Amino acid sequence: MNEDDIKKLFGQNLKYLRNKKNFSQLQLADKADVTFNFINDIENGKKWISPATLSKLCNALEIPPYQFFVGIQPSLSNDCNANTLEVFSTDVLNQINKIFKDCITRYKI
């Protein structure tokens, strides 16, 4: 994986995570105290970010930093395939977590 691949992965994940929160690029830019153009350039793989900007994006999206680097393009090993990895996507894990929380609340476990 080269530098451009990493920028592309980061940008794709940023866009996915932003959309998951139902934020426009402008809304995320406001929350992260960066410009709209900068968000657009990151999502298109044209710009890279500093650690300070990574922190701002994490805080604005309420996520840990690693989520920008996983999930969209999983690396495959001999022991697994894309279908297996897809089952454990962030969306699925979040849905499972919500179901558990709902059960705990409903049944007072």
All residues at 6 or more sequence positions from 75 whose CB lies less than 8 Å from its CB, including other chains: none
Spans of the chain, pLDDT less than 70: 71-104, 107-109
For 76, the 3-state DSSP assignment is: coil
pTM of the model: 0.64
- pLDDT score at 3: 83
CA angle 73-74-80, nearest 5°? 145
Identify the residue whose tokens are 């406001």.
30
- pLDDT score at 85: 40
